[in-house]
């Protein structure tokens, strides 16, 4: 499909391989059933007599017994049926090492493959699988694609890396037997962005290009941000740093006192909401306003869209305004593994935020094993050493996985001398992963052009001061009610 042409950059094709708080003809597909690794749906061209058996040795990912995860085959079959109905083309599904997968190879296959890494699926035990964003576009343009459920839920990108690698190798093997396989792309959303950034560093010869959308490309820095929000709120509220943290009862033991100091309406939408987006006065006290400014710095810095973002995340994403307080309630671990994830013992808030609250802040130390995790650990550290071109897109007002993640990642990539492999784009919106179809398709097209023809996409500098009123204007396509539905309330882009 034609793509916009920009200045050529050979590194798009020819690349080789922190602060630690841190041929193209579709052949036949085998017909193995459910536990035999492949499920066939309708008639996939023609079936071969000899089955292709998937042989994968499950990696050891934990010494601690975890939940009993089960593939929800009803959901998988329903997804397959829905995708077939939407595209008019066949879909297959299967299982590798306890992870379900689905895949589609269009009749007009162009020789390329897109692997999708999904985001956080909650803490339940049912494993589900979904197609990649804008899969209809991929199918119509001739791209084969595949997606995995992973063998576990929870925040476990380490397992996501393994299962994404398994599926990639399986699909590549199958497609190479049927024709010439050209490029393979890895696309991740949210936690899947963590999977993507870690995977292209760990398995450096599997993919040719990568796309991270609203991704946790700052790895454990995300959990430090959640920590800063909560202990920072307590400090601005004037609480002595002698409260328990992490605390399974955080919402009842400490949060009421925080909200009473930061808000004139502590039992309602304490921080703001839709009324404030529409012009009502803020319920924040002076201490609450100072805390709001603190969160702006911690989530990426002074920027357009932040006021709407604050009210969205405290009044629409969470009717009580407790979204980020809820994240702190627990034992400080992830993915049913031992070891606290977040820490703030290795920094000063004066240096990081320009605000002198260090004497008032509760200090938390993380497990060294978690902070230096690699490979199959639940939150593998991303070192900023991509092996292939990486394009990232991120909304400016996402306070759940903030644009700060992009800044951490870019600093490390640049420090490693690999800046030519990274292109980052801001999108003006306040939601998490709220990209309308045309914005995501634009990212696809430019990534494909980069890898296929050495055409480096345009991007913007998210490491420097991002307070420009034009932040994200070049790459935001939908306005008004697109995305989160609140783009109409954002500051307009400057006129040329």
Cβ distance 444 to 138 under 8 Å?
A: yes
Give the count of beta carbons closer than 10 Å to the beta carbon of residue 470. Answer: 13
Give the count of beta carbons closer than 10 Å to the beta carbon of residue 339. Answer: 18
**CA–CA distance, 318 with 333 (Å, rounded to integer):** 23
Helix (H, G, I), strand (E, B) or coil at 10: coil
Q: What pTM did the predictor assign?
A: 0.89
Alpha-carbon Rg for the chain in angstroms: 23
Report the top-level CATH class of 11-220+375-467. Answer: alpha beta
**CA–CA distance, 4 with 442 (Å, rounded to integer):** 9
| Nearest CA among 423, 425, 448 for reference residue 435 | 425
Cβ distance 283 to 320 under 8 Å?
A: no
pLDDT below 50 — which residues of the chain? 1-11, 13-63
Q: The tokens 């306005």 sit on which residue?
A: 479
Cβ distance 148 to 163 under 8 Å?
A: yes
- The per-residue DSSP string of 377-404 comes to SSSPPP-S--SS-EEEEEETT-SSS-TH
Give one word for 190, left, alpha or beta, with left for phi > 0 and alpha for psi -120 to 50.
left
pLDDT tens-digit map of 390-431:
999 999 999 999 999 999 999 999 999 999 999 999 999 999
Q: Rounding to the nearest 10 degrees, give the CA dihedral for residues 73, 78, 81, 82.
A: -140
Name the phi and psi angles at 80, rounded to 5. Answer: -60, -45
| Nearest CA among 62, 164, 161, 122 for reference residue 369 | 62
pLDDT tens-digit map of 434-444:
999 999 999 99
- The per-residue DSSP string of 270-311 comes to TT--HHHHTTPPP-B-HHHHHHHHHHHHHTTSS-TTHHHHHH
Cβ distance 412 to 383 under 8 Å?
A: yes
- The per-residue DSSP string of 24-73 comes to -----B----GGGSEE--S--S-B-SS------PPPP--SS-----EE-H
| Nearest CA among 303, 488, 474, 325 for reference residue 398 | 303
Give the count of beta carbons closer than 10 Å to the beta carbon of residue 47. Answer: 12
Helix (H, G, I), strand (E, B) or coil at 366: coil
Give the count of beta carbons closer than 10 Å to the beta carbon of residue 50. Answer: 7
CA–CA distance from 310 to each of 125, 230, 284, 322, 403 (Å)? 32, 15, 12, 12, 14
pLDDT of residue 376: 57
**CA–CA distance, 326 with 364 (Å, rounded to integer):** 18
DSSP state of 268: S
pLDDT of residue 65: 61
To the nearest 10 degrees (0 to 180), the angle between helices 255-262 and 286-298 is: 110
Q: Return residue ranges of the chain for CATH 3.40.50.1820.
A: 11-220+375-467
Cβ distance 405 to 222 under 8 Å?
A: yes
- The per-residue DSSP string of 87-150 comes to HSS--EEEEETTEEEEEE--TT--S-EEEEE-----S-SEE---PPTTHHHHHHTT-EEEEE--
pLDDT of residue 375: 54
Helix (H, G, I), strand (E, B) or coil at 332: coil
**CA–CA distance, 187 with 197 (Å, rounded to integer):** 10
Strand 38-39, strand 92-96: pairing: antiparallel
Give the pair of three-digit tokens for residue 82: 């829905």
Give the pair of three-digit tokens for residue 133: 């964003």
Name the phi and psi angles at 82, rounded to 5. Answer: -65, -40
**How many CA atoms does the CB half-sphere of 112 hold within 13 Å?**
22
Helix (H, G, I), strand (E, B) or coil at 187: strand
**CA–CA distance, 349 with 362 (Å, rounded to integer):** 12
């Amino acid at each position: 499909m034609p793509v916009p042409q920009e200045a050529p950059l050979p590194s798009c094709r020819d690349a080789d391989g922190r602060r630690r708080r841190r041929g193209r003809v579709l052949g036949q597909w085998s017909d193995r059933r459910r536990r035999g690794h492949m499920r066939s749906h309708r008639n996939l061209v023609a079936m071969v007599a000899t089955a292709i058996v998937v042989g994968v040795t499950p990696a050891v990912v934990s010494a601690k017994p975890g939940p009993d995860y089960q593939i929800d085959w009803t959901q998988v079959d329903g997804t397959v049926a829905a995708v077939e109905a939407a595209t008019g083309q066949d879909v297959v599904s299967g299982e590798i090492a306890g992870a379900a997968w689905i895949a589609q190879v269009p009749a007009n296959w162009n020789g390329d493959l897109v692997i999708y890494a999904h985001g956080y699926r909650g803490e339940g035990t049912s494993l589900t699988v979904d197609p990649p964003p804008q899969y209809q576009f991929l199918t119509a343009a001739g791209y084969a694609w595949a997606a995995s459920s992973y063998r576990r839920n929870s925040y476990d990108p380490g397992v996501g890396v393994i299962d994404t690698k398994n599926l990639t190798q399986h699909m590549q093997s199958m497609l190479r037997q049927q024709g010439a396989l050209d490029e393979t792309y890895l696309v991740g959303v949210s936690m899947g962005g963590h999977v993507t950034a870690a995977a292209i560093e760990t398995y450096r010869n599997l993919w040719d290009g990568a796309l991270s959308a609203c991704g946790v490309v700052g790895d454990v820095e995300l959990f430090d941000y959640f920590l800063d929000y909560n202990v920072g709120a307590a400090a601005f509220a004037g609480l002595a740093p002698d409260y328990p943290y992490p605390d399974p009862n955080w919402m009842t033991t400490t949060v009421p006192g925080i909200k009473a100091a930061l808000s004139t309406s502590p039992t309602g939408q304490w921080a703001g909401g839709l009324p404030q987006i529409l012009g009502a006065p803020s319920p924040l006290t002076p201490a609450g306003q100072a805390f709001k400014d603190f969160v702006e710095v911690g989530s990426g810095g002074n920027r357009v869209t932040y006021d709407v973002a604050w009210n969205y995340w405290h009044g629409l994403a969470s009717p009580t305004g407790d979204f980020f307080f809820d994240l702190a309630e627990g034992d400080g671990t992830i993915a049913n593994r031992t070891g606290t994830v977040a820490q703030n013992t290795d920094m000063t808030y004066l240096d990081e935020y320009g605000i002198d609250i260090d004497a008032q802040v509760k200090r938390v130390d993380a497990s060294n094993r978690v902070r230096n995790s690699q490979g199959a650990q639940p939150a593998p550290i991303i070192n900023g050493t991509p092996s292939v071109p990486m394009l990232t897109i991120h909304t400016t007002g996402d306070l759940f996985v903030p644009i700060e993640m992009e800044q951490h990642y870019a600093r490390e990539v640049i420090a490693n001398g690999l800046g030519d492999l990274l292109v980052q784009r801001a999108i003006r919106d306040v939601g998490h992963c709220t990209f309308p179809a045309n914005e995501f398709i634009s990212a696809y097209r430019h990534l494909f052009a980069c890898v296929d023809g050495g055409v480096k996409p345009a991007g913007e500098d998210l490491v420097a001061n991002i307070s420009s009123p034009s932040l994200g204007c070049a790459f935001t396509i939908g306005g008004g009610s697109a995305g989160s539905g609140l783009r109409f309330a954002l500051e307009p882009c400057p006129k040329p």
